[in-house]
Chains A and B, each alone.
Chain A
Amino acid sequence: MMDADDMIRRLSGPVSLRRRMAYVVALVMGLGGALAIGLLWATEERPPPVFGGFAVLCLAWACYGGWALTRRTPLFALDRVIGGWIAVAATWPLTLLTVALAVDRPGWAGWAGAAVNVVLALVAAFVLVRARSARAALLRRKRELGG
């Protein structure tokens, strides 16, 4: 019979903070990278075909991160807050970059890319605010229970 400590050891993989944050980074960076490369590709006059390959690679990482976060691993309150900050840190500079690119190279593709990035940045901010309020509610409950 396996005892509780054996079980805790077996569960150490899925509850490893480093692994969960790696999935968050894969999702956010993959999505951001795919958008940035897609935008560069759309705004270049003669884009090199390798851009398409990079964009697909980034999308694949984003899909893997999203799948792992929803199916494979739990995201506790603290993880959601950290994940929210990672998303904000990744999307806001990217948004500024794409807006600057759209101003520098006017055209529908540039503005469309900038608009998508603005939406992503707002979603990231919303996710962070929700994660912080959910964590605050849990901390309040913990204090009420004497923890």
Chain B
Amino acid sequence: MTDELLVVRCQLGEREALAELVRAWHDPVWTYVRRMLDHGDADDVAQEVWLAVVRGLPRLREPGRFAPWLFTIARRAVTNRLREEYGRQETTTASGQVTEHADEQVVEDRAEVMADRAALVAGLSGLPLAEREILVLFYLEDLSIEDCAQICAIPVGTVKSRLSRARRLLREQLGERGTR
């Protein structure tokens, strides 16, 4: 069954169709969120994404363009979460209090990164956010250049140059890991 048909059935109000849609797209959404956030908030953010998707589905004009729309919502949720985190980090740094919790988080992050089996995925965590995002969308989520451009709200040419820079950075990262 195509995504468009699933979305149309959801818009009609068929609950089974919504369950099928979540089953089909939960893993890609979770993978994107996990790779962008690098820690255990992925479940909460993925839930925020799905709540926004469910609320927005009745207004989706082009059911055939579900995937870019879904990742645009996911990107917004990730951006909001990162903004909150940076805000918290700045407050903590300004007051000179690095909490025990933050240390635990770092240790946890390292443990999780070490647990990642694929070298590509492990290398991703060392890349800047913009480059990491474009690699995740293009290679892990199999989205087209045009869809990536729509999701990131940037021109197609910028997606291509960002992809090229991301590949170079990833190659360097993997090279460094290989020589250690």
Q: Report A's interface with B, CB cutoff 8 A.
A: 1-5, 7-8, 10-11, 14-15, 17, 72-79, 135, 138-139, 141-142, 145-147
Contact = CB atoms under 8 A, between A and B. Distances in A.
B11 A4 contact: no
A138 B11 contact: yes
B19 interface: yes
Given A11-B22, A142-B8, A147-B5, A2 B13 contact: no
B9 interface: yes
A79 B13 contact: yes
Contacts of B43: 1-2
Nearest to B27: A4
A69 to B, nearest CB: 11
B54 A74 contact: yes
B12 A138 contact: yes
Q: Nearest 4 A-B pairs (CB), nearest first? A: A76-B13, A78-B13, A4-B26, A145-B5
Interface of B: 1-2, 4-5, 8-13, 15, 18-19, 22-23, 26-27, 30, 34, 42-43, 46-47, 50-51, 54-58, 63
Given A2-B46, A146-B5, A77 B22 contact: no
Given A11-B51, A76-B10, A76-B58, A142 B42 contact: no
Contacts of A15: 15, 18, 54
A2 B12 contact: no
Contacts of B8: 138, 141-142, 145, 147
A76 B11 contact: yes
Nearest to B34: A1
B54 A1 contact: no
A7 B11 contact: no
A3 to B, nearest CB: 7
A1 B63 CA distance: 28
A14 to B, nearest CB: 6
B130 to A, nearest CB: 25
A15 B10 CA distance: 11
B18 A77 contact: no
Contacts of A7: 22, 26, 46-47, 50
A142 to B, nearest CB: 5
B51 A14 contact: yes
Nearest to A75: B58
Given A2-B43, A14-B55, A76-B58, A145 B50 contact: no
A7 B46 CA distance: 9
27 contacts: A2-B30, A3-B26, A4-B23, A4-B27, A7-B22, A7-B46, A7-B47, A7-B50, A8-B22, A8-B23, A10-B50, A11-B22, A11-B54, A14-B54, A17-B13, A74-B55, A76-B12, A76-B13, A78-B12, A135-B12, A138-B11, A139-B12, A141-B63, A142-B5, A142-B12, A146-B5, A147-B9
